[in-house]
Every structure is written in C-alpha cells, then in structure tokens.
A and B are shown apart, each in its own frame.
Chain A
C-alpha cells in the first residue's frame, strides 16, 4: 500500500468510527425501549428493605413444588455480616427457608460461628434468584434445546426434553440451577411464569411483607420496576460476565458476589 493510500484509508476509517461513536452517545435507553413496545420481565430487589424472614423462599418452594425438605431452592436469601476489621462472613442456612432466627452463622464444615455484636459494622440480607439473563450461557450450552428463552425474556426449562446432562448447571455463572430431586431434570426460577403471564405477581413478591422484591415489565414506562431501573442507582450481579442480568439490585456493595 502506498503511503498516500494508507493515510487516506486511515482518515476515512477514523472519521467513520467517530461517526459511530457519536451516534452511540446520543442513544437514550428510553427511546430504545419505546421502539420495542413488547414485554420484558425484570426483577428489582431492594436489599435495604429485606429483613431475612425467608417468607419468599418458603412461598416459592410450595408454589413451584420444590421439595420442602430437600436442600435445594429456586430462590434463596444470603446474610452478609461485615466486621469492623473488614472480614466478611456470610451464610444462607437451608437457603433461608425458615428465615434468619439466630446470631450463629452457619459456616458449613467449619461449624457455627458467632460474631460479637460490637464487632459488626454492616449486616444485611441479599435475596437471589435466576437473573433471566439477556445473553444466558445456560441456554447457549444446552445441547438439545431444552433450556430456552421466551420472547418476553424468561428462560424456561422444558422438562420433557431435558436429558439431564447438567451442562446448564455448570454454565450458569450465578449457581442458580440444580437438579430437581423428583423430576430429575434441570431446575431453576422461572419468574413464576404461570403467574406473571396471568397478570399476577410471583409468589415470592406476594409473600414478601416488606416490598423488598418487585417484578415488572421493563418496556412499560409506568412500571415501578422500569422507573427504578431508569432513575435509580441499581446494580447487577457479576456484570463482568456480559450475561446482562435482568434482576436489578438496590443497595449492592462489592462484598456481594
């Protein structure tokens, strides 16, 4: 390539690229959503409001027929205790099915642990569930098309088509999937698809006495969840994986993974 051509091409490329960049800058998320007036389900969790009562976990297990005694849950609540010296201790006994009623933190194999009250600087609860990612790796890795995403953004598992290979359980970076002890297929939260498509709330949202959980439609500008996502400082879990989670959190901090 001649030097003159190289300079000319570079100039064309750079000016072209800058046009793209400027076009991106003016992209208003509200306009993008307005252009697509369908439904996109999303979830909002307010960790400031959650008291760790676990009513949500109990309701979910009963509503979705997840065996009550088995140590698996579609949604669970984690307790974080941050000590004055910076150490972070967390637990989630039985997924918080019976709530947090003890000051003892369940540390699994290393037993129970009690943090003296005066050493605690922060302590809070973080409800977790399937993030209904926009780019769900669990769907990408399913070899048979049993895990898929609906048009309104919910990831479902076809129980009659799942072969139980467990790839999706390995593929999910959030660890929300497990094998259903009775159905013997991959299982996870599906935003109570049978309820939200009838205009109801999910069972956990209904059960929560403190309004720590909300489900809504991101495409509806009057929806409280859409409004909060647009106007408040919300976070998502493990943004760095690029899965684009649609469970948004108010009051996350870096200790929560």
Chain B
C-alpha cells in the first residue's frame, strides 16, 4: 500500500482528526442552536445568562423615593417632576453605600439641553421655554437664580 496516493491522504485524514479533536476541546459544551434555528440561534447558550447578569446602574425615581420621600413627592409635583433624579444626580449605583459616588451635574449645559431656544416647529421642543444662551446671563449657572427642583418663575 505504499504509494504516492495513500501517503498524502493519511496526512490529510490525520489533520482532519486533529482539528476535530481540538474543536471538541475548544468549543464549550453549551454551544448549540437556540430557539430561532441555525441561521439566527447558533450560539453559546450561557451568554444569554451572562447578559442578564450585567450590572444595573440606573435605579429609577422610585428607588430614590425609598429614602428621600419628602424631596421626591415635592419635586414630582413641580414642572420638573417628569425628570428622573438620576439625570442630574448621577446613576444611583453604589449609593447609598458610597454617597461620594453621586456626581451632581449643576452645569449650565445641563439645563440648556432642553432650554436653549431652537426653532423646531415639528417637535416637542417648540413647547419648552427657551433662552438664547449667548444673551441670557452667559457664564452663570442657572441654579444661581432658578430652583431646579421647582422651576416655576412665580415662586422664584
């Protein structure tokens, strides 16, 4: 059986066997086909759980209200009540264990996100009170005059 056809063939078969063995050791046991079949569901099943366990950082206003009940009911009655506490006070992850982790954003730019006057006739922005940031007390923090927790100008 020693001829020039068989010897290379044995080499090829050997290579295929080695590759299959490596594949067996390398591919995780839970690698398989999910609910959507080969075209869409071919994956490592354990990864779905890994994504479910990803760390949640924003907890929502209801979580803040658990300790800060007074502030939260007062603010939610104001014109800014629809804004989540965490939009300005930072994600609650790590708070209350580590209060320093909350980075409160008091910048002028934060307010301008909604209150810089833009001409947007076909969107909700048109209904918000807006200022020309270059004319209206440039360089000052809005909170020096306005109370961000109760923006009503009458009660200023």
Q: Give the B-binding residues of A (Cβ under 8 A).
A: 47-55, 58-59, 62-64, 98-103, 117, 120-125, 135-136, 139-140, 145-146, 148-151, 156, 158-161, 190, 193-195, 197-198, 200-201, 203, 206-207, 209-210, 212, 251
Contact = CB atoms under 8 A, between A and B. Distances in A.
Judged by DSSP, the binding face of A is loop
Contact of B47 (A49, A120, A160): A160
Contacts of B136: none
B16 interface: no
B135 to A, nearest CB: 13
Contacts of B82: 209-210
A156 B40 contact: no
Interface in B109-156: 109, 112-114, 116, 118-125, 128, 133
B14 interface: no
B53 interface: yes
B22 interface: no
Interface residues of B, number: 43
Given A49-B124, A194-B54, A206-B60, A120 B119 contact: yes
A122 B122 contact: yes
Interface stretch (B4-12, B31-39, B67-75): B31-39
B96 interface: no
Given A101-B113, A156-B51, A197-B52, A52 B58 contact: no
Interface in B47-65: 47-48, 50-58, 60
Given A139-B39, A145-B44, A149-B41, A52 B123 contact: yes
A207 B84 contact: yes
A156 B48 contact: yes
Nearest to A148: B43
Contacts of B86: 59, 207
A156 B47 contact: yes
A148 B34 contact: yes
B87 interface: yes
A101 B112 contact: yes
B34 A151 contact: yes
A48 to B, nearest CB: 6
Contacts of B116: 100-102
